[in-house]
Structure 1
């Protein structure tokens, strides 16, 4: 089959040279309308049963939705029964309006009102398709005929409501396929519906403009919404609503731009479930506003609950990179990202505006902690590794030690084929840099600090115990003198750092030292309840690592020399043959 773009045409555009929406700013959340239980439910391989519908309903109420479309009761007995269940069980809070959908057919409208009998307040949402392809190819009608369907539907709704005077009714009309409908005709049809309902500023109706199929870019949708809002009659008596779908992947952007263009209400679903590529994702749109300092009016502080309930009710997994709430969206694997995040988190003050590199919001706002922010794999660098060691174990490694540890962590991650956890990183650090037992073990020390520091040491070696003593202006200088006198090898201390781990009587000391011996630098470390012991053990670790490195170089040179000698003999053997 040919992949031929010429069979397609651009979506409809409108001429709006004086558009004002690009200069607007969203300063408050819209009216949110969830259609999870209707539009979302009809898109599932296996529609929800009553138990799952009830669970999802309760979640939507907890989050703070005040308008929830629960079904199409005239077309589905399970939907009818669920509406009755909500009413008869008293499950509808006083500030929540149930919304139900119905086609512009008299029999369906009558049954819809029967399903809602006894409800204190409700939204009846009537619709019919208005686009040219629907008018001409589906219904075999023209503009006048389709407008008549809309008017009849509006009239039947208004008349049926009179039979239930104890309910506070809100009427809603959708010109289905609005984005593919000629704008002047969509306005004409909606004006005709509004003329029948006669809404007032005190009791407004809802005009809902669906991108039933997303046929153009979000800016075109914004133009359509702004032009519609300017031209519709009785604008002050109308709640302008939008219902974007995600066929082009732009539903959230379309919804956001529609709010700039004058929309006051947004319909969508949690996490974007819906027909084809889905509905507008209400969580993403609400979090977009939240990240800009706008109160969305919804409580999204527990995304784990939202994900768990939606996945259970829809049997659709949430992508780990789903905006704002995916499992990995606050996780950094890149070394440079990890380093930047770690530095920013140290400087971020609780009372200051949030400005942490690579984290557009504070993950703790939505129940995430920093354990998920930085994870280490083979693509990570020194920053992420150091962040984990400091966060999990209080180890604040100097830069030069991080530089030595990083390739060890990378190799371990590559060998494991993925992530390496903080405990494994600590184990590598301890195994490589705390080397105070072999070939020399520190067995005891005594410090006399009257005048110059006098240090007496006992070392365990392969040849037995070795005693040494030294004097200096400080402990390190005294140790250096003692070591040189005992083993005949001097060294220079390039850097020494220490810090406490924890506080109070349970605190430990961590010491890190970088030495130079025979022109080569070696790092060592130690952790001890006593800071003096930690310092001396760190020095012993660095010197042991220097000795082990020298042994390895000697073995390598010997092996290389033996191989070279064999290769030198080889030509003679060949000649003898």
Structure 2
């Protein structure tokens, strides 16, 4: 039991920093980004990438917008060395991109590392040396003084081989040094500053070409706020701050890498190292995607383009052979999805509210949506993927799917009835409900089985002395152009404005029928006419919606298509059973006729 062994662990000591300033700050600009995918991420793979895979990954990082990329550990293997040479000799590195090559503080490994970078335009030479008491004493058996001397000796060697080199080709390269006091988080802050001061003095950076100190949480052992205190202490105590770039490299052992990195930036850090989707040793490096998108959702341009996140996921999964978790922030396939009914209803209402607001303003509105901190469309995610249906889903999500498929909003009673049907189907089949299933269920239960078998050959409507004659395919036969009408209707009810009389010729499966009826409007006169076909029912409810869309043959003067959607709830003559019918057609008479006949036929067979 863990409870029996908890006393073997000590709490990480907090740093005394009573005048800390970082909690009052906010992030208003992106950091300098460095991708370590090709080095730190690659060395953590069961199957490290070969040269071709690394080249594809490198090109993707450049396309995303990364200007600093750690490409290799050249002294680790011939593959790493050769890949670095390939990038340089094939001129695959854009002029504005810095490549970074890494080596430990070992003089015999620094020389091949620099040789691998020969001929590149911009190179960061990255050396690392563990500075924590644990590693110095347990792993390296070195004192603080010996550690400083080694770091300075390696720095002077790099300087001799690069910016002070007598080799004309090496002097053409713009060189920068990055020094990592590895396990900085577990290093005393005073010693971290001391060793970095010694390295800086040996390198002699300038304001135009800073030295990079990568103050890494190589193993995450402290809470994020303690780490931020450490960063603020370092930034305040390192001399010539204008010549120093403070870089963060957070691992995720405690699951706090993102929080620690964001707080570290508040505390003064200038640069962030990490991997796409948190790849890297053990629990991985900080996730560059999450950090960038967190800035984006706060109104800060991260400078990295994740506008097609699915493509990035596909690339990383293919080349690393590691799947991105289904619920990974921003990128997981379920990240923007909800199966819960209350969530679905809130999101659906949010989209409707946003549409009304943007119609009113005439411009795109600020993002404000229940359960969605950002617009999935900004990442190339389709809105239909936001809501997924199963037996736990509610009418909000099911209504969303119906609107996706048919571009209609169901009346509330129909929405409740159809939701019960879909949930029952999902429970019985134990499946996720797709758009195809929704379409099949809705058509089979509410729409005519063979709508093409019903034709409206002629229709005449008369109100008093006014006559409107229409034929099949003509829009707006009832003369009304409202978006939606609702009401309870009874057949043959006289209106104060007069009676509407309908005469029509229809064909059902090729058989002609002459029908006629009268009522207070087109719909009730049509109900009266259908009664004469031998159907016995009463109307409990009906709704009509007008739809507007572009690109079909039935267009109004504005160039948009007008389709009528009719919803009818009928009760059998014996008041035993009820049925809904739905009709959608460019011709409003046909839409209503489809709905009435569909519901009437189901009453007869129920």
TM-score by structure 2 length? 0.83
Which residue number corresponds to residue 572 of structure 1? Answer: none
Counterpart of 1:558 in structure 2 is: none
RMSD: 2.8
Shifted more, 467-476 versus 37-46: the winner is 467-476
Matching residue of 2:595: 538
**Which of residues 295, 309, 324 is equivalent to 1:289?**
295
Using the TM superposition, name which of 289-298 and 140-149 deviates more. Answer: 140-149
Cα shift at 1:283:
1.1
Query: 2:417 is paired with a residue of what secondary structure?
Result: helix
Q: CA, structure 1 residues 486+316, in 2 after alignment: closer, same or farther (shift >3 Å)?
A: closer
Q: Is the 1:109–1:160 contact (alpha carbons within 8 Å) kept by the matching residues of 2?
A: no
Question: Does structure 2 conserve the Cα–Cα contact (< 8 Å) formed by 1:483 and 1:489?
Answer: no
Q: Which residue of 2 aligns with 1:335?
A: 341
Contact 1:126 1:174 in 2 (8 A): yes
> What residue number does 1:414 align with?
427
Partner in structure 2 of residue 556 of structure 1: none
Q: Displacement, 1:414?
A: 2.4
Which digits, 9 at most, give the CA deviation of each residue in 1:504-535, with x for residues without a partner?
Answer: 53464321023456497543222344311322
> SS of the counterpart of 2:553?
helix
Of 222, 232, 244, 1:238 maps to 244
Instruction: Indicate conservation of the 8 Å contact 1:436/1:544, yes or no.
Output: no
Tell me by how many angstroms 1:389 deviates.
Answer: 1.9
Q: Distance in 1 between matches of 2:12 and 2:156?
A: 32
- Find the counterpart in structure 2 of residue 491 from structure 1: 538
CA contact (8 A) 2:231 2:267 kept: yes
- Does residue 12 (structure 1) correspond to residue 13 (structure 2)? The answer is yes
CA positional deviation for 1:227: 1.0
Matched with 2:281 is 275
Q: Secondary structure at the match of 1:86?
A: helix
Q: CA deviation at 1:145?
A: 1.8
Is the helix fraction higher in 1 or 2? 1
Q: Report the counterpart of residue 369 of structure 1 in structure 2.
A: 382
Q: Give 2:553's aligned residue.
A: 505
Task: Select which of 145, 170, 175 maps to 1:169.
Answer: 175
SS class of match (1:99): strand
**Distance in 2 (alpha carbons) for counterparts of 1:29 and 1:64:** 13
Question: Match of 1:304?
Answer: 310
Equivalence for 2:569: 514
For residues 445 and 118 of structure 1, do their structure 2 counterparts lie closer, same or farther at Cα, with a shift above 3 Å needed?
closer
Match of 2:215 in 1: 209
- Residue by residue, what CA displacement relative to the aligned partner does 1:372-401 show, whole Å, maximum 9, x if unpaired? 122222111112222122223223221111
Q: Quick one: structure 1 residues 528 and 222, their matched pair in 2 at CA, closer, same or farther if it must change by over 3 Å?
A: same
Once the two structures are superposed, residues 288-309 of structure 1 have per-residue CA deviations (whole angstroms, 9 ceiling, x without a partner) of 1111110111111122222222
Gapped runs of 5+ residues in structure 2?
465-498, 555-560
Q: Contact 2:457 / 2:507 at 8 angstroms: preserved in 1?
A: no
In 2, Cα distance between the equivalents of 1:264 and 1:513? Answer: 64
Other-structure match for 2:493: none
Cα deviation, 1:400-452, whole Å, max 9, x if unaligned, reads 111111111112222332222223212211221236899xx999885441423
Q: Is the 8 A contact 1:332 1:375 kept in 2?
A: yes
Q: Deviations over 1:67-91 (max 9, x none)?
A: 1111121332221111111111111
Give 1:432's aligned residue.
Answer: 445
**Cα shift at 1:195:** 1.7
**8 Å contact from structure 1 (residues 214, 246) kept in 2:** yes
The 8 Å contact of residues 338 and 383 in structure 1, kept in 2 or not, is answered as yes
SS in 2 for 1:230: helix
After superposition, the C-alpha distances for 1:522-559 in whole angstroms (9 at most, x for unaligned) are 4322234431132233234334444555xxxxxxxxxx
2:486 is aligned with 1:473: no
Q: What is the CA–CA distance in structure 2 between the aligned matches of 1:56 and 1:392, rounded to whole Å? A: 38
- For the 8 Å contact 2:459–2:505, the answer to whether it is kept is no
CA contact (8 A) 1:333 1:377 kept: yes
Matched residues, number: 545
- Counterpart in the other structure of 2:105: 104
The CA deviation at 1:10 is 1.9
Moved more, 197-206 or 429-438: 429-438
CA 1:227–1:546 in structure 2 vs 1: closer, same or farther (change >3 Å)?
A: same
Give a deviation string over 1:335-372, Cα, whole Å, max 9, x none: 22222222322332352111122222222222222121
1:262/1:532 Cα in 2 relative to 1: closer, same or farther (>3 Å)? same
**Offset of residue 113 of structure 1:** 2.0
Give the Cα–Cα distance (whole angstroms) in 1 for the partners of residues 375 and 507 of structure 2: 52
Normalising to structure 1: TM-score of the pair? 0.87
Shift of 1:329: 1.3
CA distance 1:533–1:190, change in 2 (3 Å): same
Measure, in 1, the Cα distance between the counterparts of 2:342 and 2:265.
37
The correspondence of residues 60-459 of structure 1 with structure 2, limited to 5 A, is 60-161=61-162, 162-163=164-165, 164-348=170-354, 349=358, 351-434=364-447, 447-451=460-464, 452-455=499-502
**Kept in 1: contact 2:539–2:568 (CA 8 A):** no
Question: What secondary structure, in the 3-state scheme, does the structure 1 residue paired with 2:545 have?
Answer: strand
Aligned partner of 2:482 in structure 1 is none
Report the equivalent of 1:562: none
Contact 2:214/2:248, CA 8 A, preserved across alignment: yes
